């Protein structure tokens, strides 16, 4: 361990950081050690990482001093914030600022900041196709991360532009659903656009490839994607993979989707509209070839589905009726 380069991983118990910890721990001769950061070292996922050889360290993104301690002596930092825990662009930026400040204090050699594009640059300020949210954002969890890029200036940073996780279909109920007549349907405001998607686990695995490549990607923006597919294409693959006769696709308008009323419906409505209306720009900002070069095991949609078939199937079931 002593001669290995320590990568301090924020979000180690989550999708992105968890994939990176798994990549480091699965490569014992790779020259890197995993420092898994969590607010709760006692949780099962943290204990599982410790059992595999990770150094588990407690820190909180809201407490910059805890991050400085957690990054001390590390070679590199993987920085990610979790918008969906609080839904606040301001809080996300404050947490990103803390990551950058602590990485600067620790003098690390490489930082990966998990970011997204500034969707405001795709539309004129008076474009009425979608509302502004939280005062000045089109898609707050994209735009806040892009604004936060500025905190990392002057640090040896790779800006990792991620893609939509296919795992959202079972993790957040965004996948197809079966109705009480056994008919499967999928409602998304994505028209016929190809959506830049990725297996969640591949974000961390690709980040590991960036760390292994080292200085080559410092100061660079790396846009990653597993495969770009339309909803129709994904629906057909899921139907085939689950042995269903078919999945109906209801390509609703973004305005209707924003009105569905669930928490984050307006945010997701705007995000999906960006994927739909600015398909070329979103796809152009990501390279499947580079992602595969950094992560040769990159999963296609079919390979991801084969690994997650049971979870996807379970998520199609209607929620049990309230009693």
Q: Which residues bind ligand NAP (CB under 6 A)?
A: 10-17, 38-40, 60-62, 80-85, 141, 162, 164-165, 168
State which residue, 98 or 316, has the beta carbon closest to ligand NAP: 98
Instruction: Report the residue number whose CB is nearest to ligand NAP.
Output: 14
Q: What is the nearest approach in angstroms of ligand NAP to the Cβ of residue 126?
A: 27
State which residue, 130 or 203, has the beta carbon closest to ligand NAP: 203
Q: What is the nearest approach in angstroms of ligand NAP to the Cβ of residue 291?
A: 14
Q: Which two tokens stand for residue 314?
A: 């379970």
Q: What is the nearest approach in angstroms of ligand NAP to the Cβ of residue 114?
A: 7
State which residue, 168 or 214, has the beta carbon closest to ligand NAP: 168
Chain centre distance of CA 203: 7
Instruction: Give the integer Cα–Cα distance in Å for 85 and 81.
Output: 9
Q: What is the nearest approach in angstroms of ligand NAP to the Cβ of residue 138?
A: 14
Residue of 229, 224, 186, 193 lying closest to 208 (CA atoms)? 224
State which residue, 80 or 103, has the beta carbon closest to ligand NAP: 80
State which residue, 10 or 294, has the beta carbon closest to ligand NAP: 10
Q: What is the nearest approach in angstroms of ligand NAP to the Cβ of residue 268?
A: 10
Torsion of CA 138, 141, 143, 145, to 10 degrees: 180
Q: What is the nearest approach in angstroms of ligand NAP to the Cβ of residue 60?
A: 4
Residue of 269, 270, 188 lying closest to 229 (CA atoms)? 188
Instruction: Give the integer Cα–Cα distance in Å for 255 and 322.
Output: 28
Helices (H) and strands (E) in the chain — how many of each? 13, 13
State which residue, 31 or 230, has the beta carbon closest to ligand NAP: 230
In this structure, are residues 298 and 206 in contact, taking their beta carbons and an 8 Å threshold?
Answer: yes
Q: Write out the DSSP string of 60-87.
A: -TT-HHHHHHHHTT-SEEEE---GGGT-
């Amino acid at each position: 361990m002593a001669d290995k380069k320590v990568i301090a991983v924020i979000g180690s118990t989550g999708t992105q950081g968890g994939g990176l910890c798994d990549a480091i721990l699965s490569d014992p001769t790779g020259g890197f050690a995993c420092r898994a950061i969590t607010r709760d070292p006692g949780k099962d996922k943290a204990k599982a990482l410790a059992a595999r050889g990770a150094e588990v360290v407690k820190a909180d993104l809201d407490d910059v001093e805890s991050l400085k301690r957690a990054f001390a002596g590390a070679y590199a930092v993987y920085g990610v914030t979790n918008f969906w825990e609080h839904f606040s662009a301001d809080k996300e930026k404050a947490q990103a600022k803390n990551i950058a400040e602590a990485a600067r204090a620790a003098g690390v050699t490489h930082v990966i900041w998990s970011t997204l594009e500034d969707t405001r640059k795709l539309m004129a300020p008076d474009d009425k196709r979608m509302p502004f949210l939280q005062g000045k954002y089109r898609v707050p969890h994209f735009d806040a991360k892009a604004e936060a890029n500025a905190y990392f200036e002057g640090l040896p940073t790779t800006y990792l532009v991620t893609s939509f996780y296919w795992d959202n279909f079972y993790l957040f109920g965004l996948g197809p659903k079966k109705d009480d007549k056994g008919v499967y349907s999928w409602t998304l405001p994505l028209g016929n656009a190809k959506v830049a998607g990725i297996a969640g686990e591949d974000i961390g695995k690709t980040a590991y490839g960036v760390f292994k490549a080292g200085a080559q990607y410092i100061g660079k923006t790396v846009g990653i994607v597993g495969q770009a597919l339309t909803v129709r294409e994904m629906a057909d693959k899921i139907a085939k993979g689950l042995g269903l006769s078919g999945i109906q696709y209801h390509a609703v308008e973004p305005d209707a989707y924003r009105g569905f009323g669930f928490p984050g419906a307006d945010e997701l409505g705007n995000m999906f509209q960006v994927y739909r209306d600015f398909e070329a720009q979103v796809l152009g900002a990501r390279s499947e070839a580079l992602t595969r070069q950094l992560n040769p095991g990159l999963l296609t949609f079919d390979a991801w589905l084969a690994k997650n078939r049971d979870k996807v199937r379970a998520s199609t079931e209607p929620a049990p009726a309230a009693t």
